[in-house]
Structure 1
Amino acid sequence: MHNRISLKAVQAFEAAARFESFALAADELFVTPSAISHQVKLLEELVGVRLFHRVHRAVVLTDAGRKYAEEISAAFARIDAATRNVVGAEKSDILAIHCTPSFATQWLMPRLARYSALQPDVDVRLNASVSPVDLMQEEFDVDIRYGMRQLQPAGTLVLPLPPETIVPLCAPGLITEDRPLASMEDLGHHMLIHSVRCLVTWRDWMRQHRKVKLDISRGLRFDRSFMSISAAVDGLGVCLDSLLLVERELESGRLVAPFGRTGLQVQAYTFNVLKSKVDLPKIRSFQHWLFSELSEDGAS
């Protein structure tokens, strides 16, 4: 039955019920009282219930009409509130991003203002955690993952981010005349900082530099790259991590790469999005911006 209900008839009934007057309802809706009466009669025929008692020139709600009016008034109030929320909204789209903590903290967050400047109508919501999310089940538009690719649902598009370069990093104050870092062998005189979740470890680094002997059983260990980087900035030792994640620290001089910026390459991050969402403007714009930023960083 609800498919045949006229919104005009419901609107006329709501106004007439509120004023308990066809004349006042007509004034509010800029129609004639007879038009209100006609719409109410039409609605009564459609629902099969009398909504008003006609008493001389007055109208009084029936019990059924009063209950119906309460429901209709609440529905109109919700419509009014929803409309005001849309009109008052500063941004038209919400982009929900899930990301690993280190990439979010070290790379993405410092750049989000650039994206927002390009897309002022998109409200970005960033959630960071180690565990990957199920884009089919959770309310995220994009998942930026770290590590070996895991099997994704059939409807997921997985795009690899550009490779990273992994090199030793330390605070400039860590290098002294007594404890230099003039050669890789000098690492033996310094505390090593281990990022245990990093795909490239000090063991991998030693395989590339077989002449260097290090005791990799010693040193500080952290389960997040951003913690290892922070420890290196504080002068606690030498960390092995991604140049991508330490751009600000290198630019500000808080960290240096004592043996240069050439090192092991690893393709660690992937951009994950549902194929059903990939053509949404907010997804397209963020994907294009993200890969453009990464390309600029790789070229610099």
Structure 2
Amino acid sequence: MRKRVSIKAVQAFEAAARLGSFALAAEDLAVTPSAVSHQVKLLEEQLGVRLFHRVHRSVALTDAGRVYAAEVTAAFARIDAATQAVATVSGGAILTVHSTPSFATQWLMPRLTRFQDLHPGIDIRLHASVAPADLAQGAVDVDIRYNPGPAPAGAVLVPFPEDTIVPMCSPALANGLKPIRRPEDLGQHTLIHSEINILGWRDWARRHRKVQLDLERGPRFDRSFMAISAAVDGLGVCLDSILLAERELLSGRLVVPFQTAGMKAQGHGLVTLKSTADLPKIRAFREWLFDELKKARRWEEQVLDGRPPRPAP
């Protein structure tokens, strides 16, 4: 059976071993020398090992005491270091968010100042990669996933509102020598493909069977933010999420060249552990995130109606 010892007794022993005196240990701990002596004696009884040689008014560590003191002193040093690390946070909290690269770059990062203004006591640490984060390891608090599927064991998934997928291009391309005014006009232009998106140009073509598209040609990208950037540069027409292209549409660098209902897809979702979902920092981020998504949905309606888009409030 594992031996259990008094933490107060270990603390008294560490001080006495470090300072070489029960009296000095008592002064360090703000107790009486007899209290230190009592605690050390209790520890020796609990361990069944003599830790100090007592000679008149002085004390000296036994061989076992020296070995034990080295481990205990190191342990207390680690506790002190951890205490200092926590103290430097100054009462704040760090929220580690993992996200897909396109959502992080195109939508989340431009809004982080809003979250910071509302929650100045929470600092965001943002990681981005395609592979889902393993929340069980404890290094990440929330994971924003694309096409997430069912929630992993021990986790909860909150799906985002559906993405609206539409053709987008630069104004110069839309109003150039071969203007784009209706779906049929796309047949005269290069198509930009986002290869990992749930919906692509083949899905769009099935919904617009009268439109002749060359689906075998055109540049291909495995990230939405690259496809959107290519469309801004005039490389062709991309088919992607209005949500992810918000900045480009607002700035006029991209346009939706004709009125359309768009295609709908359940794109992203927020994954958290069930055991941590209601922590204040995670709850604050989740509520803020879905409030921002609700505002973005109202803004999307302007785009689909053919009205000049205005920033969401």
Q: Does the TM-score normalized on the shorter chain lie above 0.5?
A: yes
* Distance of aligned partners of 1:58 and 1:276 in 2 relative to their CA distance in 1, 3 Å threshold: closer
Matching residue of 2:218 = 219
Q: 2:253 corresponds to which letter in structure 1?
A: R
Give the Cα–Cα distance (whole angstroms) in 2 for the partners of residues 114 and 241 of structure 1: 25
Partner residue, 1:67: 67
Q: How many residues align?
A: 299
Q: What's the % identity of the aligned pairs?
A: 63
Determine the C-alpha separation between the residues in 2 that align with 1:8 and 1:137.
33
Letter of the 1:244 partner, please give it.
L
TM-score normalised according to structure 2 size: 0.86
Letter in 2 for 1:21: S
Aligned residue for 1:132, secondary structure, equals: coil
Is 1:46 aligned with 2:46?
Answer: yes
Aligned to 1:101: 101
Once the 2 structures are TM-superposed, how far is the Cα of residue 165 of structure 1 from its aligned partner?
Answer: 1.5
Q: 1:246 aligns to what? A: 245
Structure-2 change in CA distance of 1:293 and 1:50 (3 Å): same
Distance in 2, matches of 1:257 and 1:132, equals 31
Deviation track 1:151-201 (CA, whole Å, cap 9, x = no partner) reads 443433222211121111111222444221233332222211111222222
* Change beyond 3 A, Cα 1:248–1:49: same
CA distance in structure 2 between the partners assigned to 1:140 and 1:129 by the alignment:
13
Specify every segment of 5 or more residues in structure 2 that has no aligned partner in the other structure, as ranges: 300-313
Q: CA deviation at 1:87?
A: 0.8
**Separation in 1 of the partners of 2:130 and 2:272?**
17
Q: Which amino acid aligns with 2:262?
A: G
Opposite residue 29 of structure 2, the aligned amino acid is L
TM-score (norm 1): 0.89
Secondary structure of the structure 1 residue equivalent to 2:243: helix
- Give a deviation string over 1:117-150, Cα, whole Å, max 9, x none: 3233333333322233444467433232223x53
1:257 aligns with 2:256: yes
SS of match in other structure, 1:123: strand
Conservation of the 8 A alpha-carbon contact between 2:193 and 2:201: yes
Partner of 2:291: 292
Query: Measured at CA, do residues 105 and 8 of structure 1 come closer, stay the same or move farther in structure 2, by a change above 3 Å?
Result: same
**For structure 1, which segment, 176-185 or 214-223, has the greater mean C-alpha deviation from structure 2 after superposition?**
176-185
Question: Which ranges of structure 1 fall in alignment gaps of 5 or more residues?
Answer: none
* Paired residues of 1:91 and 1:122 also in contact (CA < 8 A): no
Residue aligning to 1:120: 120
Q: Write the mapping of 1:8-157 to structure 2, written as runs, cut at 5 A.
A: 8-90=8-90, 92-136=92-136, 139-147=139-147, 150-157=149-156
Q: How many angstroms apart in 1 are the aligned matches of 2:137 and 2:62?
A: 47
